[in-house]
Amino acid sequence: MDTLTDTVIKQIKNGSTEILSLCQNVPEACLAAPFMSNGWSVKDTVAHISAWVWRCAGLLEHAHSTNGPLSASPDVDGLNHEFYLERQYWSWHEVETDFLQAHWALFNAIRQLPPTRLRSSLAQQVITKNTCEHYAQHLPDLNYWRNRVTAEKSPVLKRIRQPHSTQVGAL
């Protein structure tokens, strides 16, 4: 495998794993409660990130020989609203599974992209914008939420739960 491919995938895995790790050992009710600055829950935010990762994977799958898909300018607000409506009633398990599957699909799309296409500045921009930059956009709110939940020392949080893999790509 190409070193650039490995590097890109590793950066995405690190960021996505950080997001999921913040959600571990927290009751689903806390994940589903509106808390974020935009009125969404943590669950909604993770689902939102997943939707954009799915979109990025789809763009890359269609960009093997052209920049057309990568050059498209989406209606961000419209897509965010559509993604929210589609996923708002999903359980945390469904959101977490979708998050892992979206990243798996993205890793496959990156691996299948011809190396010259992956090296293009436009492909790099699309991948970075829809992953690492997107994670960085939401991490301050997610970290603040996690610190608040942890500080509350809820009796529910004190329960020991069986850990499961939060490593993206562990599917």
pLDDT in tens, 82-125: 999 999 999 999 999 999 999 999 999 999 999 999 999 999 99
Buried b (16+ CB within 10 A) or exposed e, 101-128: ebbbbbbebbeebeeebbeeeebeebbb
CB 17 within 8 A of CB 10: no
Predicted structure pTM score: 0.86
pLDDT the model gives residue 88: 94
- Span 12-33, average pLDDT: 95
User: Number of H helices and number of E strands within the chain?
Assistant: 10, 0
In a domain, residue 19? The reply is no
- Indicate if the pLDDT at residue 17 is higher than 80: yes
pLDDT the model gives residue 131: 97
Cα angle 6, 17, 100 (rounded to 5 degrees) comes to: 85
In a domain, residue 16? The reply is no
In a domain, residue 27? The reply is no
In a domain, residue 53? The reply is yes
- Indicate if the pLDDT at residue 2 is higher than 90: no
How many structural domains does the chain have? 1
pLDDT the model gives residue 16: 97
pLDDT the model gives residue 150: 87
Quote the distance between the C-alpha of residue 135 and its chain's center: 7
- Range(s) of the domain holding residue 104: 3-11+41-64+72-158
- Span 22-34, average pLDDT: 94
In a domain, residue 87? The reply is yes
Indicate the SS3 state at residue 127.
helix
pLDDT the model gives residue 152: 75
pLDDT, tens digit (0-9, with 9 covering 90-100), for 32-58: 999 888 889 999 999 999 999 999 999
pLDDT the model gives residue 120: 93
